[in-house]
Amino acid sequence: MARAYNQAQKFGVEMAIPDEVISLEGAGNAGNGVLRLNLANNEAARARSIVIATGARYRRLAVEGLDSFEGTSVHYWASPLEAKLCAGEEVTLVGAGNSAGQAAVYLASHVSKVWMLVRGADLAASMSRYLVDRITGLPNSKGFVLTGVESGASRRPLETSRSGVYAIGDVRSGSVKRVASAVGEGAQVVAALHAALASIQGDSTNLKTPLRSNR
């Protein structure tokens, strides 16, 4: 990471650490458009393309001392790795959403017993089966960013529904939520950016706006 940081600086990249984007304006690649990122410090950054790589923030239980068990016996994902770590053991799943249900079905074939902690009397206590089935079928009911064909027929790989805006890593819908995968998508999006910028008519140096400017 240190070498990547130094290399980026050599190419003239301006770092803003820490900083927070509060809104996004404009349209990207199409028609030489410019995207404007409004920052929490009352400044703005402008670009033709943006890559969202914020990761994902999962809801955590309000249990004292929980963080000391994270990564060892408390997990936020049910993948083959977690299944191997829990093989033959009793596991507890907290929640009654679709993700918890899918995890329960998957883990049941690897562990000795699966407990599910839910607030309602049963899994369908607060919602009709019709609504449960409808919500399950919605591609945007899960809180992640859609990319590629899921966000529009004309979208490039890793591109969101807004032209020029890309998403990679855990924040992207359909990603496998692993560091190695996120790094791979980071490398993949570079090619997508080059292709997008190359398709813009005219010289890219025609954009005279600075990377950062006051509002």
Instruction: List, in order, residues 6 or more apart from 185 with CB less than 8 Å away.
Output: 158, 168, 169, 172, 175
Whether the CB-CB separation of 39 and 16 falls below 8 Å is answered with yes
Q: Which two tokens stand for residue 168?
A: 């990679």
Task: Give the per-residue pLDDT at 133.
Answer: 67
> In sequence order, what E strands does the chain have?
21-25, 35-39, 43-47, 50-52, 90-94, 113-117, 165-167, 212-214
Whether the CB-CB separation of 165 and 145 falls below 8 Å is answered with no
Give mean pLDDT in consecutive 10-residue pieces for the chain, a chain of 215 residues. Answer: 90 86 75 80 89 86 87 84 91 81 85 85 64 58 84 88 91 86 92 84 44 46
Domain edges within the chain: 2-56+157-210, 69-137
Q: Which two tokens stand for residue 189?
A: 């999006």
pTM metric for this prediction: 0.66
> What would the pLDDT profile of 126-143 be if each residue is shown by its tens digit?
555 655 666 566 555 767
* Structural domain 2-56+157-210, CATH architecture: 3-Layer(bba) Sandwich (3.50)
pLDDT, mean over the chain: 81
Q: Which two tokens stand for residue 36?
A: 């404007």
> What would the pLDDT profile of 43-80 be if each residue is shown by its tens digit?
998 888 899 999 888 778 888 888 888 878 888 888 88
Angstrom CA distances, 124 to 96, 120, 132, 139, 176, stand at: 9, 8, 8, 21, 28
Residue type, position 117, single letter: L
